[in-house]
Structure 1
Amino acid sequence: MSYPIIRSVHHEELAALLELYKHLHQEDDPVDLEQISGLWEEILKDEMMKIMVAEVEGQIVSSCVVTLIKNLTRGGRPYGLIENVVTHSDFRKKGYGRMVLNKAIAYAKERRCYKLMLMTGSQREEIHTFYSRCGFQKGIKTGFLMKMG
């Protein structure tokens, strides 16, 4: 395993991140960089959202997004949501996914989140085991999802 750099995504890495996302949702249509450049700028400026990446030899090989949500309960402490956890298929089972999740967890702790949530659409037990080993517990709450089209 090459030693990775675990960090927040950089401004100039949108194309590399979108390339990595092809390993997450293969069925998604390609995204036009010009069309989403404004959205990218908003994401990068948003202190309540961070995209964590693992870089190996100049390539982004793993990533996750952590979004913090302001909250009026729990003493005003925010809660967090993890989404878009992905590792390039050539780099799986090397610990990079765990590393980016740990970076996201550390960010949520730093921001005083009282909980951090993660949902997966995968039914594969190995994926559930991975998240459990990263500290997430299943069966504590019941999740519901409404697809918005």
Structure 2
Amino acid sequence: MTQPTDDLIIRVADDGDFDAVRALYRDLVPSDLPAPEALQRQTYKTMLEHPGLTILLAVIDRQAVASCTLVVTPNLTRGCASYALIENVVTQSNWRGRGIGHQLMQAAIDRAFGDGCFKVMLLSGSGNARAHRFYKTLGFSTTKTGFELRAPGYAPRRLI
């Protein structure tokens, strides 16, 4: 893995990052279900305002090259320690293999533990061995089994 450029900045996404985040998500799920731009903008605004939800961006030369969403959830177990979920992890395809995703994920993990979370969870496609290796380098383990239930009529697409 080559090292990213020295000017890598990891920061919280804001109102002005809508187009950049949307472009990264298109790279993550090229065949995603369509939605009108107005709905996407409103959803993005709702995400930015949602308590405990943070979109992190990895930026090089003012270009967003990677992103993930961190959700910190209050919890009544474990001494009321919160837990975190990381979702929508993406590094722009032409920037992969440079350590950017690793630094972004480490920033998300550090933020979660800094917020008092007792664990950080994520799901990954069951057939995505490359992603599984990546997450294991960050210290994630497969100690639990993940389950999901999709809404009726939603047709998931396999990404490998």
- For residues 69-91 of structure 1, the C-alpha deviation after alignment (integer angstroms, 9 at most, x for no partner) is 11111111111111000010100
Q: In the alignment, is the contact (CA less than 8 A) between 1:81 and 1:117 conserved in 2?
A: yes
Match of 1:142 in 2: 145
Q: Pick the aligned partner of 2:45 from 41, 48, 56.
A: 41
Aligned partner of 1:83 in structure 2 is 87
- Over aligned residues, Cα RMSD in angstroms? 1.4
1:120 corresponds in structure 2 to: 124
CA distance in 2, matches of 1:109, 1:56: 25
C-alpha spacing 1:125/1:91, structure 2 compared with 1 (3 Å): same
- Say if 2:69 is the partner of 1:65: yes
Shift in alpha-carbon separation, 1:114–1:39, aligned structure 2, 3 A: same
Shift of 1:133: 0.3
TM-score (norm 2): 0.86
Q: Percent identity among equivalent residues?
A: 34
2 CA distance for matches of 1:81 and 1:131? 13
What is the CA deviation profile of residues 67-122 of structure 1, one whole-angstrom value per residue up to 9, with x for unaligned ones? 01111111111111110000101000001111111111111011100111011015
CA contact (8 A) 1:7 1:103 kept: no
Out of 7, 11, 14, which is 2:18 matched to?
A: 14
Extract unaligned runs of 5+ from structure 1.
none
Query: Mean Cα displacement is larger for which, 100-109 or 120-129?
Result: 120-129
The TM-score with structure 1 as length reference comes to 0.92
Q: 1:32 aligns with which of 24, 36, 40?
A: 36
34-43 or 72-81: bigger deviation: 34-43
